[in-house]
């Protein structure tokens, strides 16, 4: 039983979605919570856009109407407004429906009227349509049967056509086999031709008839075999097609195909061997006859290329031509046996009767001096011998009297005479066959054929294969004797020149690459044992350098000579070692990286030795050098006195200093000479002989180029000049300051003189102050120890020594000044009141005159020192010490005047 009232029940039935109740609940909620209905943050929100209900509303046009989604989409509308809107939309729909019915009412009424009687009419049409359908089905069945029959006939005809084509193919195979057997005379052994002997085709007056000659002509035989090879190639192509069809006929006649191949190969080998024997052998044929045989050789090579029997042709070349020559030429005692000259091919006939009817001389022609070949070659290994083209390496072999060079010369002449034309013909045949196959990819095909082992490779597989093995087996003990470096270097140079000349004869660059990639070539290069040779050279070079560095530096007692000559034996040995690394008698290009490393090691070893020499030098005044170099010159009243340099006037000390100067000057001169010579050696020889390393990144500072490495090594040696220069400066300074000791005696000397006038001349010893420096650099008329360094070190050393001398001079003058001040204070005691009968003399007057004479003398001495320094190219005004010295002397004048006024 429902708990709702009748009014509620009636309202619920009128409002199934209870919209009124939902509206009342929403209003009550808004009244109970008014603060939550509006935002408290004061933020402004846009008003929702009012969209009226229409047919385009996606919620109303959906297949399944969702009340919740629809209400959420209209959440901005109250339920009362939503209900009013829905009712208005319902009224709009009803009005539209009524209008639609009213507009099409007549059409609806006429539709029912027009459809009367259509059922009977449709029933009448149904019967003939069924009959028509049955007839169409029957026709379709008949057409399908006819189509199937046609397809069967077409398939049958296709099979017949394929079988016919196969039969035609088999007929072609059969005809080709028959034709080849006929061409090669396989079916009738009694008709087999005897091997062609070229001696039977000599031109003579009693020769056979023209027909017989044509029948037995080698040219016809070569063309005959070429035709058979073309037919055999076509047979193989047809047989491969038939074999793909699983034809048993091909398997049954395979033995015939093999027999044809064997017969064709044997006939071709026999013809090719006889042709080679006639051309390269000892057959007494004229050049005209040999020129006639050249087309046969070309046909044979072309036939081998067509059949793909390149290795068979190369084997015949090895066995018939190359191997006999190698056996006669390259053997164990070949280098000690006399070499017979290679007989040239004379271009004249042996018979003089009928061969030269128009000859104006009755004497036979003179045999040419140089070997002559009838082959039109494009390259030659010996310009001096063959006179056609020039090889850059032939000079090493032609100009040498070495037995190995003579042997190589004989081999090259043989290859030039007997193989150059054969290689040229084989190369032309291969290029022609490749161009006919694909004219746009000749180079790619050639590289591919060489790489895959296809095509002729006579230089690698014939010439070098036999020659390399013979040299390694029979002459290896002499050629590769690394225990004798000089002979090994000579043999290596001659052999490399021989290989380069052999490559110069090669018909193409691909032939050279194939020869270098041949296993015999790789084995031949490994037999040299270049690391062993370098180790022996390293021991030879380094031992001499170490022996020279083991002795101390002993000067010869005379000054060094020219600036571009080395003085010490140690530097000479290092330079000899450096030049030896890159000399033609020792250097090998394949060891360039090892010799470059040895060069840097030699420079580093010389630097270590120089450093040890400098460190081992025991000199007592080395500590004062740093003081002099780092001392600051200032005014006399503010500066501290310069530490006194040691003075060693003894003869033994002078001799030791002289020896030290000579030693250091020699080392400095050697360093400068070695530096310039090494850089010249780099620019003239090493940089052209040493390959620059690949992949050097300019931005990577950790990588050092070869030039930078050499410059760093040379700079490290040059850095040792500075400590030696400092020592030389100290020794010369000590010698120059010895005369300055006379400054202490100026007061005594002036007061001891009877003449009390002011001095007008400087002391004679002033000219002796810088005299050791002039003597050292040879400016006094004699050759000095440092004359070789005058151009580079005269100016800097003179300035430094002059600076040191002035500092020492300041020290002596300051001492003299202090002594005068002490004496002056001593004399300023109680006034002297002694009575004198002859009058009184003021001692201060006498003292003032002495000080004036001392001041004038010092000024004259300093001025003389300035003039003497200018003779060495020194500008005294730029010297801080000399300026301080001048100021100190001038201050004596001012102080003496003030003291004089003080006394009065």
- Look at residue 3 and tell me whether its pLDDT is greater than 50: no
* 393 neighbors 504 (Cβ within 8 angstroms): yes
The one-character DSSP state at 648 is -
More confident residue, 825 or 560: 825
Tell me the average pLDDT across 783-802. Answer: 86
- Look at residue 436 and tell me whether its pLDDT is greater than 50: yes
- Look at residue 458 and tell me whether its pLDDT is greater than 70: yes
pLDDT-based confidence at 862, cuts 50/70/90? confident
| pLDDT for the residue 577 | 93
More confident residue, 766 or 451: 766
Tell me the average pLDDT across 692-716. Answer: 74
More confident residue, 904 or 305: 305
Neighbours of 309 (CB within 10 A): 20
pLDDT-based confidence at 430, cuts 50/70/90? confident
Mean per-residue pLDDT of the chain: 74
Tell me the average pLDDT across 630-653. Answer: 44
Of the listed ranges 136-140, 299-303, 754-758, 783-787, the least confidently predicted one is: 754-758
| pLDDT for the residue 640 | 33
More confident residue, 696 or 825: 825
- pLDDT per residue over 801-854, tens digit each? 988 989 988 888 888 888 777 777 776 655 544 433 334 445 555 555 777 878
- Look at residue 194 and tell me whether its pLDDT is greater than 50: no
| pLDDT for the residue 258 | 83
Closest residue by Cα to residue 691 from 547, 563, 594, 794: 594
More confident residue, 577 or 364: 577
The one-character DSSP state at 878 is G
- Look at residue 2 and tell me whether its pLDDT is greater than 70: no
- Look at residue 297 and tell me whether its pLDDT is greater than 50: yes
Tell me the average pLDDT across 293-306. Answer: 84
735: which residues sit within 8 A by CB, 6+ positions away? 657, 772
**Secondary structure (DSSP) of 752-763:** H-S--SPP-S--
| pLDDT for the residue 538 | 93
| pLDDT for the residue 895 | 52
CB contact burial 374-389 (16+ within 10 A = b; e otherwise): bbebebbbbeebbeee
CA-to-CA separations, 716 to 553, 565, 611, 622, 722, in angstroms, rounded: 20, 21, 10, 22, 11
Portion of the chain with pLDDT greater than 70, in percent: 71
Reading the block at residue 835, the tokens are: 């009575």
- Look at residue 19 and tell me whether its pLDDT is greater than 80: no
Quick one: three-class SS letters along 362-430?
A: CCCCCCCCCCCCCCCCCCCCCCCCCCCCCCCCHHHHHCCCCHHHHHHHHHHHHHHHHCHHHHHHHHHHH
- Look at residue 727 and tell me whether its pLDDT is greater than 80: yes
pLDDT-based confidence at 595, cuts 50/70/90? very high
Residue 877 to residue 867: CA distance in whole angstroms:
11
pLDDT-based confidence at 656, cuts 50/70/90? confident
More confident residue, 134 or 632: 134
User: The dihedral of CA 363, 367, 373, 379: what is its sign?
Assistant: negative
| pLDDT for the residue 856 | 84
Residue 387 to residue 369: CA distance in whole angstroms:
12
| Angle, alpha carbons 197-199-201 (nearest 5°) | 90
* 383 neighbors 390 (Cβ within 8 angstroms): yes
- pLDDT per residue over 459-503, tens digit each? 888 999 999 899 988 888 888 887 888 888 888 988 988 999 888
- pLDDT per residue over 113-127, tens digit each? 777 777 777 887 787
- pLDDT per residue over 351-384, tens digit each? 333 333 333 333 334 333 333 333 333 343 333 3
pLDDT-based confidence at 680, cuts 50/70/90? very high
- pLDDT per residue over 147-183, tens digit each? 999 999 999 999 898 888 888 888 888 887 888 777 7
Residue 598 to residue 604: CA distance in whole angstroms:
10
Of the listed ranges 223-227, 427-431, 671-675, 885-889, the least confidently predicted one is: 223-227
| pLDDT for the residue 609 | 93
| pLDDT for the residue 636 | 33
Q: Is 301 helix (H, G, I), strand (E, B) or coil?
A: helix
Neighbours of 141 (CB within 10 A): 10
* 29 neighbors 79 (Cβ within 8 angstroms): no
């Amino acid at each position: 039983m429902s708990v709702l009232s009748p009014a509620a029940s009636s309202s619920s039935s009128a409002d199934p979605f209870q919209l009124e109740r939902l509206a009342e609940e929403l209003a009550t909620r808004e009244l109970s919570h008014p603060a939550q209905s509006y935002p408290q943050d004061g933020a402004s929100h846009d008003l929702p856009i009012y969209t009226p209900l229409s047919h385009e509303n996606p919620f109303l046009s959906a297949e399944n109407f969702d009340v919740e989604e629809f209400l959420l989409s209209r959440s901005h509308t109250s339920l009362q407004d939503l209900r009013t809107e829905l009712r208005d939309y319902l009224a709009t729909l009803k009005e539209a429906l009524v209008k639609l019915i009213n507009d099409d009412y007549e059409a609806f009424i006429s539709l029912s009227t027009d459809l009367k009687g259509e059922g009977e009419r449709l029933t009448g049409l149904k019967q003939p349509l069924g009959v028509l359908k049955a007839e169409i089905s029957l026709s379709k069945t008949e057409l399908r049967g006819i189509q199937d029959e046609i397809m069967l006939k077409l398939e049958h005809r296709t099979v017949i056509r394929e079988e016919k084509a196969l039969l035609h193919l088999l007929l072609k195979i059969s005809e080709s086999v028959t034709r080849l057997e006929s061409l090669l005379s396989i079916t009738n052994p009694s008709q087999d031709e005897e091997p062609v002997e070229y001696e039977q085709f000599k031109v003579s007056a009693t020769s056979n008839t023209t027909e017989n000659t044509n029948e037995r002509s080698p040219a016809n035989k070569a063309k005959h075999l070429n035709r058979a090879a073309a037919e055999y190639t076509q047979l193989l192509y047809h047989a491969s097609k038939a074999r793909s069809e699983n034809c048993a006929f091909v398997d049954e006649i395979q033995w015939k195909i093999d027999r044809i191949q064997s017969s064709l190969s044997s006939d071709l080998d026999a013809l090719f061997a006889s042709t080679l024997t006639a051309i390269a052998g000892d057959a007494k044929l004229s050049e005209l006859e040999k020129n006639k045989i050249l087309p046969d050789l070309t046909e044979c090579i072309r036939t081998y290329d067509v059949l793909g029997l390149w290795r068979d042709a190369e084997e015949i070349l090895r066995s018939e031509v190359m191997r006999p020559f190698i056996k006669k030429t390259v053997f164990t005692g070949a280098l000690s046996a006399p070499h017979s000259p290679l007989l040239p091919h004379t271009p004249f006939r042996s018979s003089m009767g009928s061969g030269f009817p128009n000859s104006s001389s009755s004497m036979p022609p003179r045999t040419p001096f140089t070997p002559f070949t009838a082959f039109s070659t494009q390259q030659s290994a010996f310009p001096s011998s063959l006179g056609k083209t020039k090889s850059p390496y032939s000079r090493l072999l032609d100009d040498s009297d070495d037995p190995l060079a003579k042997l190589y010369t004989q081999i090259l002449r043989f290859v030039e005479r007997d193989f150059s034309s054969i290689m040229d013909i084989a190369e032309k045949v291969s290029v022609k066959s490749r161009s006919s196959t694909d004219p746009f990819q000749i180079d790619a095909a050639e590289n591919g054929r060489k790489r895959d082992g296809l095509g002729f490779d006579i230089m690698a597989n014939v010439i070098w294969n036999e020659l390399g093995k013979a040299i390694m087996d029979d002459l290896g003990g002499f050629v590769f004797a690394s225990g004798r470096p000089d002979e090994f270097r000579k043999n290596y140079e001659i052999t490399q020149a021989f290989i380069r000349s052999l490559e110069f004869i090669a018909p193409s660059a691909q032939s050279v690459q194939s020869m270098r990639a041949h296993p015999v070539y790789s084995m031949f290069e490994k037999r040299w044992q270049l690391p062993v040779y370098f180790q022996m050279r390293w021991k030879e070079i380094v031992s001499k350098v170490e022996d020279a560095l083991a002795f101390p530096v002993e000067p010869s007692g005379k000054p060094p000579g020219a600036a571009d000559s080395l003085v010490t034996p140690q530097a000479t040995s290092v330079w000899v070692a450096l030049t030896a690394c890159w000399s033609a008698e020792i250097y090998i290009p394949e060891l360039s990286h090892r010799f470059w490393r040895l060069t840097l090691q030699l420079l580093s070893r010389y630097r270590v030795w120089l450093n040890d020499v400098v460190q081992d030098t025991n000199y007592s005044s080395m500590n004062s050098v740093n003081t002099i170099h780092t001392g600051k010159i200032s005014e006399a009243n503010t500066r501290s006195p310069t530490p006194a340099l040691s003075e060693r006037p003894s003869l033994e000390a002078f001799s030791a200093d002289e020896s030290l100067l000579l030693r250091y000057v020699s080392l400095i001169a050697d360093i400068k000479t070695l530096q310039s010579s090494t850089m010249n050696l780099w620019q003239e020889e090493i940089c052209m002989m040493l390959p620059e390393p690949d992949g050097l990144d300019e931005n990577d500072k950790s990588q050092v180029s070869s030039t930078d490495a050499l410059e760093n090594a040379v700079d490290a040696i040059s850095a040792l000049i500075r400590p030696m220069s400092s020592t030389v400066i100290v020794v010369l300074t000590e010698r120059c300051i010895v005369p300055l000791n006379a400054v202490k005696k100026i007061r005594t000397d002036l007061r001891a003189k009877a003449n009390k006038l002011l001095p007008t001349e400087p002391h004679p010893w002033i000219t002796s102050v810088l005299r050791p420096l002039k003597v050292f650099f040879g400016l006094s008329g004699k050759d000095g120890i440092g004359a070789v360094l005058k151009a580079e070190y005269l100016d800097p050393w003179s300035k430094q020594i002059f600076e040191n001398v002035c500092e020492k001079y300041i020290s002596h003058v300051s001492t003299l000044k202090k002594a005068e001040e002490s004496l002056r204070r001593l004399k300023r005691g109680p006034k002297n009141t002694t009575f004198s009968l002859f009058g009184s003399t003021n001692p201060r007057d006498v003292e003032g005159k002495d000080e004036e004479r001392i001041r004038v003398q010092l000024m004259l001495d300093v001025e003389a020192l300035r003039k003497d320094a200018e003779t060495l190219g020194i500008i005294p005004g730029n010297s801080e010490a000399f300026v301080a010295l001048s100021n100190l002397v001038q201050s004596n004048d001012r102080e003496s005047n003030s003291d004089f006024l003080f006394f009065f």
